Amino acid sequence: MARRHGRPRATAERRLEPNRRRCWSCGGTLWVAYHSRRRLTLLEEVVQYTVVVRRCRTPSCARYRRAYRPEEEGALALPHGEFGLDVITLVGQLRYREHRSVPEIHQALEHRGVVIAERTVGHLIERYEELVALHLTDDRRLRERLSREGGVVLALDGLQPDVGHEVLWVIRDCVSGEPLLARSLLSATEADLVPLLREVHDALPVPILGVVTDGQQSIRRAVATALPGIPHQLCHFHYLQEAARPIYEADRHAKKELKKAVRGVRPIERAMEGRSDLEAEVTRGYCLAVRSALTDDGRPPLRASGLRLRDRLEAIDASLGRLAEKGGCRPSWLACGP
């Protein structure tokens, strides 16, 4: 089907990494197999994600060559979806809580800055209906999919597009990326969440290998009560990423400003073209160092790319300073310095 509107441009770029580096089946290393690119329209932003996918390379392992995607991915969107779960939740709530029509929901989304076609709103209502109607016990496709994987790692997320309204609780499997159950609740006490976890536990055709959550206290207690003895991992990376988000934004801005300061590399390179003397060689070396610093993306959130760029540029600057001091070979372009 032809698109009448192009997809919105991404307003942010982010990287999603799986939590684990070791295979839970054989204990071997999970190697990075490939990166997939995925653009998601969320309520607040349009994000271009780089999704790191790992695989076990032990031929004798039950999980040999099976893709292992970041746990967090399923909290953001349904498999293959272009819109975030937060958008789907809001659409569903507007439809079923406030009984709004498709054109009204479309308008409400546009009002919030979400770029979406009216026809797509209809599709998202269908996705929401499928989600809340999901019953693991009678979903053959899903049961077969889970059986093939041999086990699930559960994650529990609460989606609340508007503070003070209902929360859509989604229990999903991190291994297959499939949602397993979704219920809209007004509160989220331990007593509310335990029945949801039990329902999934009782309907699963495979064992639960572990649970990953963000560690909110009511969730922690509910997991301990409903799934005793099952390992429960708090998603540290998720924690850290959330905490580091303001720093990440500031760092991105700083990097942009730093890049402006070294924009003059290309003219310098051009001026050295065709020359093979010592000054030209040295100059080319420095230009290459600047270029390589510019393409180094760091590893956020712990290794901020802006700070890294500053470190590398400072090292280049210091080296140029030493060069000028020695005076043996003072390139003509050094006078203008950074």
What residue ranges bind Zn ion (CB under 5 A)?
Answer: 23, 25-26, 28, 56, 58, 61, 63
Spatial CB neighbours of 120, under 8 Å, sequence gap ≥ 6: 83
**Minimum Å distance from CB 69 to Zn ion?**
16
Nearer to Zn ion, 31 or 34 (CB): 31
- Phi, psi dihedral angles at 266 (to 5 degrees): -60, -50
**Complex with Zn ion: residue 56 or 182, whichever CB lies closer:** 56
Residue 24 C-beta: closest distance to Zn ion, Å: 8
- CA 131 to CA 92: how far, in whole Å? 10
- Closer to Zn ion by Cβ: residue 26 or 307: 26
Shortest Cβ distance from residue 178 to Zn ion (Å)?
A: 21
| CB-nearer residue toward Zn ion: 32 or 288 | 32
What totals of helices (H) and strands (E) does the chain contain, helices first?
A: 11, 9
Smallest distance, Zn ion to C-beta of residue 31, A? 10
Of 103 and 231, nearer to Zn ion (C-beta) is 231
Output the smallest distance, CB 196 to Zn ion, in A: 30
Burial 39-77 (b: 16+ CB within 10 A, else e): ebbbbeebbebebbbbbbebeeeebeebbbbbbbbbbbb
Q: Least distance in Å: CB of 229 to Zn ion?
A: 23
Amino acid at 121: V
Residue 62 sits at the vertex; the CA angle it makes with 56 and 63, to the nearest 5 degrees, is 35
Q: 198, exposed or middle or buried, with CB in 10 Å at 0-12, 13-18, 19+?
A: middle
User: Which lies closer to Zn ion via its Cβ, residue 23 or residue 46?
Assistant: 23
* Cβ-Cβ contacts under 8 Å for 167 (sequence gap 6 or more): 158, 159, 160, 184, 185, 186, 188
Helix (H) or strand (E) holding 29: none
Q: Are the C-beta atoms of residues 173 and 100 closer than 8 Å to each other?
A: no
* Residue 232: CB minimum distance to Zn ion, A: 22
Whose Cβ is closer to Zn ion: residue 52's or residue 316's? 52
Q: Which 8-state DSSP code applies to residue 9?
A: P
> Which residue in 174, 91, 191, 83 sits closest to 132, CA to CA?
91
| Strand partners for 181 | 171
Closest CB 56 distance from Zn ion, rounded Å: 3
Strand pairing report for 152-159 and 208-213: parallel
CB of 54 to Zn ion, least distance (A): 11
Can you read off the two tokens belonging to residue 10? 């991404």
Task: Between 56 and 200, name the residue whose CB sits nearer to Zn ion.
Answer: 56
Closer CB to Zn ion, residue 48 or residue 58? Answer: 58
